[in-house]
Amino acid sequence: MTESTTATNTPLPAGSLSGKTALVTGSSRGIGADTARYLAEAGANIVINYRNKAPRAEKLATELRALGVDVLVVGADLTDPASVQTMFDEVRNTFGALDVLVLNASGGMESGMAEDYALLLNRDAQVNVLETALPLLGEGSRVVFVTSHQAHFIRTTPTMPEYEPVALSKRAGEDALRERIPALTEHGVEFVVVSGDMIEGTITATLLERANPGAIAARREDAGKLYNVSEFAAEIAAAAIETVPADNTRLIGDVSSFAGE
């Protein structure tokens, strides 16, 4: 386990991902967009995935192309296996292969969704995206799964009731992906979990604050600091190239409030 208490928040070494291709799920905005930006600054060609924010995705693509990298923008509903397959078919047709897959997209606090939506997106869809991508992931490629401390430690440390269904579903997704580490290793594919505390400025934090006023401020006081979107994205990008810890886990920020298993 690697624990980081200070933000990287600097671009990766110039050229460190030149000639590589990276796909970041949910990358039209927020943490995903900033992660894609850091990877592009390091020379990676980028696949921007979005669900329904096409103009925002295209705006980011224009920005990243100005860095001299190739960018593919693909809309896909990750909970729809056919849509996911079409996305990776486009990746194959455009780039031929994939070197970095960042499983960033998640959800479950949105209104109007089915009762099992959190589990469908945060577990089932994550596994399906990985399995669909696997034929494109060659020797030395890397898969990064993004989660939160509130989800990673949910078995030992209770979280806010409003977030518990999401936390449980994300931990279920993490567990399901970890079960595939031996098979990934056989393919020469590395896997790492990046877990962070509540992130200032994210949709999840906004929804939690709306449901439980003062929750973010209380967590900030307990932790001493909460990372912002760009700081956490920098840590995710770093996980794409830095050595994978022995337990396949990078814990970002303070974890003193969370009990280990």
In a domain, 135, yes or no: yes
Say how many domains are in the chain. Answer: 1
Residue 146 banded pLDDT, cuts 50, 70, 90: very high
Specify the DSSP element, H or E, that contains 247.
none
The answer for 214, left when phi > 0, alpha when psi is -120 to 50, beta otherwise, is: left
Dist. CA 247–CA 52, nearest whole Å: 35
Residue-level pLDDT at 162: 81
Q: Enumerate residues 6+ apart whose C-beta is below 8 A from 210.
A: none
The mean predicted confidence, pLDDT, of the chain is 89
- Cα separation, 253 vs 209, whole angstroms: 20
In-domain check, residue 162: yes
Is 261 a domain residue? no
Residue 122: CB atoms within 10 Å: 28
Across 221-245, average pLDDT:
89
**Is 260 within a domain?**
no
- For 9, the domain range is 2-252
Q: Indicate the burial class of 64 (C-beta count within 10 angstroms; 0-12, 13-18, 19 or more).
A: buried
Residue 196 is part of a domain; what is its CATH number? 3.40.50.720
Give a yes or no: residue 82 inside a domain: yes
Instruction: Render pLDDT for 195-232 as a digit per residue (tens, 0 to 9).
Output: 998 777 666 666 667 767 776 777 777 767 778 889 99
- DSSP letter at 134 equals G
Pair 24, 250: CB distance under 8 Å:
no
With respect to residue 187, please indicate whether it lies within any of the assigned structural domains.
yes
Whether 88 is in a domain gets the answer: yes
DSSP-derived 3-state class of residue 71:
strand
Cβ-Cβ contacts under 8 Å for 80 (sequence gap 6 or more): none
pLDDT above 70 covers what percent of the chain?
88
Give pTM, 2 decimals. 0.91
Residue 257: inside a domain: no
pLDDT at 81 over 70: yes
